[in-house]
Structure 1
């Protein structure tokens, strides 16, 4: 009996938990879509970068949307289909097919910027924890100060 593969739930969590990436590495399924290939980098404690290899796509072909905690990156090639049919390839190794890639973002992870250079799409992210959620130090004797006010 096979165990249940939970890797689709954990494979694209960013800013959530380091454990999710460890589980992903340990349970990665072979049949998952690998197009387009991507990297997720940890730049600093709360800063991340997603880099996707999208050769053949221009800025106009790519849409980046954030809705709730989901980052959705879509690439669509519209007018190139006729040009590709007219050309005759001896070998076609650059896949310019349409794609959609979704990433689940952790709480308080914000998309800062997106840039495309040399066929690579870079998306910078940062986890911004609100002041109310950050730990604060309580001084001993602070209850007396509140009573006097």
Structure 2
């Protein structure tokens, strides 16, 4: 069976990578842990806030891999504690967010059980470049 792509128009050249990123984002959107918010803080800035109660900063990582923001958390097992009831989830997680070209992570921090990751897209200059047309002899 032939797969039809939304980006298969002959006028969209070089977007194969974008299609792959969209597919990865759709696959990773299924898990609901940890809960998160995404806010637009200005015209060119965003903030991702994840609820990471119980995680210390050293148990968390924020990386950018191939235009994807990867936020992960893992806690070591504490064998010294015995729980009668454990209702606060502290399982391992990994969340991936696909970033457009030019988006930069400017800050990540933990406060009151919330991990915040600030993103920005620097304003780009519009570049118009004239291409010389060369006649072949």
For the criterion TM > 0.5, the same-fold answer is yes
Residue pairs, 1:1-149, within 5 angstroms: 9=22, 32-78=30-76, 80-83=77-80, 86-90=81-85, 92-131=86-125, 134=126
The alpha-carbon distance between structure 1 residues 39 and 11, as it changes in their structure 2 partners (threshold 3 A), is farther
Identify unmatched segments of 5+ residues in structure 1: 1-7, 13-23, 25-30, 137-149
Contact 2:44 2:123 in 1 (8 A): no
CA distance, structure 2, for counterparts of residue 103 and residue 41 of structure 1: 14
Name the one with the larger helix percent. 1
CA distance, structure 1, for counterparts of residue 117 and residue 68 of structure 2: 14
Misfit runs of 4+, over 2 Å: 8-12
CA distance, structure 2, for counterparts of residue 43 and residue 11 of structure 1: 26
Identify unmatched segments of 5+ residues in structure 2: 1-20, 129-137
TM-score, scaled to structure 2: 0.68
Q: Give secondary structure in 2 for the equivalent of 1:81.
A: coil
Residue 9 of structure 1: CA displacement? 3.2
